[in-house]
Every structure is written in C-alpha cells, then in structure tokens.
C-alpha cells in the first residue's frame, strides 16, 4: 500500500480513538491536508463525537474540503434521526456559508423539538437566507418566541436581530398578543434590535416590567 494511502487509513482510524486528544489531532491533520476520502468519515464522526472542541475541529476540517463535496452530504445528514447529526450538520453548513444549502433549512428544522437542533437551524438560516426571503424567515422564527430557557431565547433573539428591520412586523404581532412569555421575549428582542449594546439580560428585565404593567 502506498505511503499516502497508509497515512489516510491511519488518520481515519484515529478519528475514532478512545482518546479525545488523539481525535483532535487527527481532525487537525485531516483539515490541514484535505482529501475527499475523509469527508464521509468526518461527517459520521460529527454525529457521535462527545467533546465540543473535537466537534469544532471536525467542522473546521470539513470547511477545508470542497463545498461541492461536503454540502450535499451535510444536507443528507439533516434527515438523520440522530439529533447531534442534524445539529452538527447545520452548524457546519453555517460555517461553510454556501447558499445552495438554503432550501434544506426547512420549517421542520427551524421548529425542531430539540433545542440544539433548532438553535443551529436558526443560525444557519440567518447566514444563508437569500435576499428578499428575510420576512418569511422572520415569520417562522417568530413562532418560536418564548421558547425554552435563557440560552435558547438568546439564540433566537440573536437570529432575529440578524435579519434587521424585516423582523419588525413579526415582533409587533407578538407584542400585541396575549401570551406574556411570548410578549416578553418579543419586547426584549425589539430592544436589542434598537440598541444592540443594551445586553440581553437587561433587555429581558425591562421587558418583564413592560409586560407586568399590562397593555
């Protein structure tokens, strides 16, 4: 077996090592010398890798390969039953930034029951949305206002404000609604849109006061 093939087999095997440091070094090596033969294994490993910093290196390694190879395979991964496979594929697509992946960011993913998948979908959607589609995306994201705890709500607010003025009608409708949790989140998001330096926690506290005072 030629030396290059031997090195490839060794690197692929190392991606599944019991040692996280070995997996990290292997992902770094694969990204440093991209080879299409690594792509499937990198994506497979993303779905099961337990360590965050190793997953980030796997994603980096995938971004070093041709988008024409990686994007279709990552899009296929969005249909996986494994939540980590979906969330990591979305995260990697957002890093690659190829708008050919936009049609794959479905309403189903944007409203996924798993918070990590939904949050990754929000980030990917805002990064990939084509010009003119922002209002429709804002409307879908608006259905998630009030969802989850602080981190999930912060992620949604960041995604929404990333769409700019296109979110105003969606926020106005939510603020005029009757659900206090949704109203609070929408008010906080609007404050962040108008004053990005205000900070999420402060915006939430101010929104709570507004909601408590009533219409």
pLDDT tens profile 100-136: 999 999 999 999 999 999 999 999 999 999 999 999 9
194 domain-assigned: yes
144 domain-assigned: yes
Residue with structure tokens 């440093």? 32
Of the ranges 61-65, 82-86, 199-203, which one carries the lowest mean pLDDT score? 199-203
178 domain-assigned: yes
157 domain-assigned: yes
In the predicted model, what is the mean pLDDT of the chain?
Answer: 92
Share of the chain above pLDDT 70, in %: 95
pLDDT score of 1: 36
Mean pLDDT across the stretch 3-21? 78
94 domain-assigned: no
The domain of 176 spans 134-215
Backbone angles phi, psi at 24, to 5 degrees: -60, -45
Number of domains comprising the chain: 1
pLDDT tens profile 132-190: 999 999 999 999 999 999 999 999 999 999 999 999 999 999 999 999 999 999 999 99
146 domain-assigned: yes
pLDDT score of 204: 80
140 domain-assigned: yes
* Residue 196 CB-density burial (10 A; 0-12 exposed, 13-18 middle, 19+ buried): exposed
Outline where the chain has alpha helix (H). Answer: 3-14, 20-32, 39-46, 52-63, 67-77, 83-96, 107-110, 115-128, 134-142, 150-161, 168-175, 180-194, 200-213
Q: Is pLDDT of 3 > 60?
A: no
pLDDT score of 208: 76
Pairwise CA distance, residues 75 & 61, whole Å: 17
197 domain-assigned: yes
């Amino acid at each position: 077996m030629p030396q290059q093939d031997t090195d490839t087999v060794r690197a692929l095997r190392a991606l599944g090592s019991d040692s996280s440091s070995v997996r990290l070094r292997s992902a770094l090596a694969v990204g440093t010398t991209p080879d299409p033969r690594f792509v499937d294994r990198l994506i497979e490993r993303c779905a099961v890798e337990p360590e965050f910093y190793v997953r980030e290196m796997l994603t980096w390694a995938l971004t070093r390969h041709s988008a024409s190879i990686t994007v279709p395979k990552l899009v296929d991964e969005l249909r996986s039953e494994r939540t980590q496979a979906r969330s990591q594929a979305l995260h990697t697509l957002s890093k690659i930034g190829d708008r050919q992946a936009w049609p794959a960011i479905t309403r189903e993913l944007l409203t996924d029951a798993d918070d990590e998948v939904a949050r990754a979908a929000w980030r990917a959607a805002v990064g990939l949305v084509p010009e003119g589609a922002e209002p429709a995306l804002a409307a879908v994201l608006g259905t998630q206002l009030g969802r989850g705890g602080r981190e999930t709500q912060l992620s949604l607010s960041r995604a929404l404000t990333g769409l700019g003025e296109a979110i105003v009608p969606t926020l106005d409708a939510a603020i005029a609604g009757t659900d206090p949790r949704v109203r609070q989140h929408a008010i906080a998001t609007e404050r962040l849109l108008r004053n990005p330096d205000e900070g999420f926690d402060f915006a939430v506290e101010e929104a709570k006061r507004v909601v408590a005072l009533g219409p």
